[in-house]
Structure 1
Amino acid sequence: MKEYIKINEQDNVVVALREFKEGDRIQDGTIDLVVKESVPSGHKIALHFMKEGEKVIKYGNPIGLAKADIEAGTWVHTHNIKTGLGDICSYIYEKDYKELESTEDAYFRGYRRKDGKVGIRNEIWIIPTVGCVNKIAALLERKGNSMLTDNVEKVCAFEHPYGCSQMGEDQENTKKILAGLVNHPNAGGVLVIGLGCENSGVEQLKEHIGKYDGNRVKFLICQEEEDEVEAALKLLSGLIEYASTFAREEIPVKELIIGLKCGGSDGFSGITANPLVGAFSDILISKGGTTILTEVPEMFGAETLLMSRCREEGTFDKTVAMINGFKDYYTSHNQTIYENPSPGNKQGGISTLEDKSLGCTQKSGNAPVSDVLPYGSPVKSKGLNLLTAPGNDLVAATALAASGAHIVLFTTGRGTPFACPVPTVKISSNSKLYERKSNWIDFNAGVLLEEGKMDNIAQNLFSFVLDTASGKTVKSEIEGFHDMAVWKDGVTL
């Protein structure tokens, strides 16, 4: 096993693949260096002297500036490197991408809905319009799961604290996400439960849902029922009967939509798990499929790499608006734009936002950017899409689901048990996490540090995703986890 990695020939740091001690030697045909202090695994070691203000290069791009002189062989981290990013930027469209070559068709076994959409699960979803009815929804989930037929996999209630006492765009965001879930084809049937006095009630939500199949979507307003549970169970029974008419059939992979997300990252995330997901994305898109990349704050510092891959100038303009709009969001709340890496990220070896972003955006692979989606908007274009949403794991993953993702691929270096409304595949950046948290992690990208071949591992991940789309349950599904969260941005009355 390698002891360190130089990611790009232009880099002036290497990443330690084990803990280095003072006096250890880094030596190969191009490097001969004595390590001058202890450096944790996943962290950076300076290859040569860097004077104060000099750019620190990783992934072939600057990840920050030296805060003081940095000696060769020393640890490079938050104590001696700072972000080199500014605030609102101007950008020029400089197209720089190649179209992916088409590859042979692939198939999975999914559910073809009456409107032509495709789902990979045949579940019954209970969507509360307001947090006041959360516990009724949870009660119905428990009772509903005792009513299932062979063709219906589970009943899921998506509790949330929103739907009332919100104003303006904040309230609209809640309706968009709830409507996106109602329309999601992973649900063979949907029961929408309202209280009756909320300002994001059933009638208001219907405006965002649009045209719907009355056999697939049912509505109940609790204040209008003498026994809301009894009434809801009758509706659930009908929904289960309707969903039971669907069976898995062969579906071309071009119908598959996959969300791309990372969280709890470490120094290996940008070396193993994120590039692996990028390679997967390219495979899927080469077969006509669709991926969605989000976490806008974790594009800061790497956004020009995405902008140069925009297929059209109009898409470039939307990307610029997304990036600078998110910066305005930060400054309007008197927050620093570039103070992003979490304590866990820093402990894992990520020093600056550029360091994190250059690793994060590798999940997008090499495909051109087809479209940019506002928060809560459904995907319309095949290929790689960018989605406006924050980095928060639950909020961003829910946004991916609401925009139509059938599955979310979630890379992590530290691990997390959560799951969003759709199957959430956890991909570890290192083998230690995969072995230690086998109840959380579905796929190990850490084998890439152990001389694994990217093409082979990417094909393995592609096969794993097709199996998941065909009904194989992932770890979080086995545990019964299905979370959702809405991006809260506004006054609460």
Structure 2
Amino acid sequence: MSQFVKINKDDDVVVLLEDGVKGKIIDVDGEQITLLEDIPKGHKVAIKEIKKDNDVLKYGYSIGKAKEDIKVGQWIHSHNMRTGLDGILEYDFKENTLSQEKSHKDIFFKGYVRDNGEVGIRNEIWIINTVGCINKTCTLLAKEGQKLLNDKVDGIYNFEHPHGCSQLGDDLENTRKILSGLVNHPNAAGVLVVGLGCENNTLDSFKEILEPINHDRVKFLNIQDVEDEIEEGMKLIEKLVDYASKFEREDVHISKLKIGLKCGGSDAFSGITANPLLGRLSDEIIRLGGTSIQTEVPEMFGAETILFDRAIDKDVFDRSVHLINDFKEYFIRYDQVIYENPSPGNKKGGITTLEEKSLGCVQKGGKSIVTDVLRYGDKSTKTGLNLLYGPGNDQVAVTVLAAAGAHMVLFTTGRGTPFGGTVPTLKISTNTDLYNKKKHWIDFNAGQILEDHDFESLDESFFKMIVDTASGEYVAHNEKNGYKEISILKDGVTL
């Protein structure tokens, strides 16, 4: 196993793959470099002299500016490097000559073809409440509903949230858009929508944005209108179970698959192992005619031009720029520093600046052409790589990916998290230590690439896991553990 990794030939740094001790010598491209101090695993070592205020290069791009002169062999981190980003930027569209490579392989998974022609990879019953004050009623309905299950239905689930009442403007609109996206998600064979009766998000107003409604698939219950809401709810769930039971898995071309791309609890290896793995997988899905959806807009800051340069046309370029600048305006509106993003866990893992985090983050989208840009709560309708408005927050980002239509979310992590969304949320570890420690969380170990495993066999194993997950042959750990949650972005007044 190597002692370090150099990502790009032009880089000023290498990343240590084990703790470095002062005085240790490493050989980088034939040059003997002596570590001038103890340096933690996953952190950066200068392999060139860098003058104060000059760029520090990693991934072949600037990840920030030197705060002071940096010597060869020095540790580079927050104490001697800062972000080089500042304010809202202007961008120029450059006509690109990229073409989207297509694959003519016929690869299939076993999916559920719904009455409207959409495809699901799970056959579940979802209970969606229009308002937070009936969370526990819906939890009880899901629990009692389990008694009605048969071997045709994968489970009955509700997703607690605090919204739907006392909301105004964009907040109410965001809640409705996310909940409607979940109601219409094809992983749900049947849906029970439950309202209280006095909330802002009334059943009648919510139904308007759900049209057209298949009333065999979607049932409605307003609990202020009935004497016993559990009894009435169970009657409706029984009908939904009967309806869902008619679906059988059948061969579906992989071009119908939509994957969501996410990272959380990143470390210095995220941009070296797991995120590039997702990028290669995403490119392959797109070559086969499928769809990848990438969100976490603040984690595009500093690397956004890489995405802009792949916009399919001027319209997508302009909407990509709006995506970035609108989120920057969100920061500015609340007097927050735009470019102070890495979390304490990120920094402990070796990530210093937002540019460094973003350059690792955007690799999840591979090298494919950007074909569409989606607003918060929009549904993906175009194949290829889609950019989606959403924050880096794990729960909110996974929820908006599911609401956009992702059948599953591929979630890379260097530090680990048990969280799961409404859809299968596969955790991909960036390092083997995490995989060995948290095997009940982690579905796939991308850290193997640091142990001299070849890319081709790793990619093949990962692709097989994705197909097996879509076919129901592999069950993600979040599903096994019963971790299925949602969170909705809030930005405004609550009455």
Judge same fold: TM > 0.5, yes or no: yes
Q: Contact 1:268 / 1:430 at 8 angstroms: preserved in 2? A: yes
Q: Contact 1:195 / 1:222 at 8 angstroms: preserved in 2? A: yes
Deviation at 1:95, TM superposition (A): 4.0
Given residue 488 of structure 1, which amino acid in structure 2 is its aligned partner? K
Aligned to 1:68: 68
Per-residue CA deviations over 1:306-360 (Å, capped at 9, x if unaligned) read 0000011110000000000100011011111001000000000000000000000
Per-residue CA deviations over 1:50-97 (Å, capped at 9, x if unaligned) read 111010000000000001111110110011110001111110112443
Aligned to 1:38: 38
Deviation at 1:149, TM superposition (A): 1.1
Deviation at 1:28, TM superposition (A): 4.3
Aligned to 1:489: 491
Deviation at 1:98, TM superposition (A): 4.0
Q: Contact 2:100 / 2:287 at 8 angstroms: preserved in 1? A: no
Aligned to 1:450: 451
Aligned to 1:181: 182
| Equivalent of 1:474 in 466, 473, 476 | 476
Note if 1:172 corresponds to 2:177: no
Write the mapping of 1:266-305 to structure 2, written as runs, cut at 5 A: 266-305=267-306
Deviation at 1:99, TM superposition (A): 2.1
Aligned to 1:89: 89
Note if 1:376 corresponds to 2:383: no
Aligned to 2:249: 248
Q: Contact 1:375 / 1:387 at 8 angstroms: preserved in 2? A: yes
Per-residue CA deviations over 1:198-243 (Å, capped at 9, x if unaligned) read 0012112112212110000000001001001100000000000000
Write the mapping of 1:428-439 to structure 2, written as runs, cut at 5 A: 428-439=429-440
Aligned to 1:17: 17
For 1:28 and 1:311, how far apart are their aligned partners in 2? 39
Give secondary structure in 1 for the equivalent of 2:310: coil
Q: Contact 2:102 / 2:289 at 8 angstroms: preserved in 1? A: no
Write the mapping of 1:375-454 to structure 2, written as runs, cut at 5 A: 375-454=376-455
Per-residue CA deviations over 1:225-274 (Å, capped at 9, x if unaligned) read 10011000000000000000001001000000000000000000000000
Higher deviation after alignment, 456-465 or 358-367: 456-465
For 2:236 and 2:29, how far apart are their aligned partners in 1? 70
Aligned residues: 493
Note if 1:7 corresponds to 2:7: yes
Aligned to 1:332: 333
Aligned to 1:79: 79
Give secondary structure in 1 for the equivalent of 2:271: coil
For 1:369 and 1:68, how far apart are their aligned partners in 2? 38
Deviation at 1:29, TM superposition (A): 3.8
For 1:423 and 1:401, how far apart are their aligned partners in 2? 10
Note if 1:319 corresponds to 2:329: no
Q: Contact 1:110 / 1:469 at 8 angstroms: preserved in 2? A: yes
For 1:86 and 1:29, how far apart are their aligned partners in 2? 34
Aligned to 1:148: 149
Give secondary structure in 2 for the equivalent of 1:15: strand
Q: Contact 1:270 / 1:358 at 8 angstroms: preserved in 2? A: yes
Aligned to 1:26: 26
Q: Contact 1:369 / 1:383 at 8 angstroms: preserved in 2? A: yes
Deviation at 1:30, TM superposition (A): 3.3
For 2:30 and 2:320, how far apart are their aligned partners in 1? 39
Per-residue CA deviations over 1:141-170 (Å, capped at 9, x if unaligned) read 111112101110100001100111111011
Aligned to 1:50: 50
Aligned to 1:264: 265
For 1:383 and 1:458, how far apart are their aligned partners in 2? 19
Q: Contact 2:374 / 2:389 at 8 angstroms: preserved in 1? A: yes
For 1:259 and 1:455, how far apart are their aligned partners in 2? 22
TM-score normalised per structure 2: 0.99
For 1:336 and 1:262, how far apart are their aligned partners in 2? 22
Aligned to 1:357: 358
Per-residue CA deviations over 1:361-396 (Å, capped at 9, x if unaligned) read 000001000000000000010010000001000000
Given residue 174 of structure 2, which amino acid in structure 1 is its aligned partner? N
Note if 1:216 corresponds to 2:217: yes
Q: Contact 1:277 / 1:458 at 8 angstroms: preserved in 2? A: no
Higher deviation after alignment, 269-278 or 198-207: 198-207
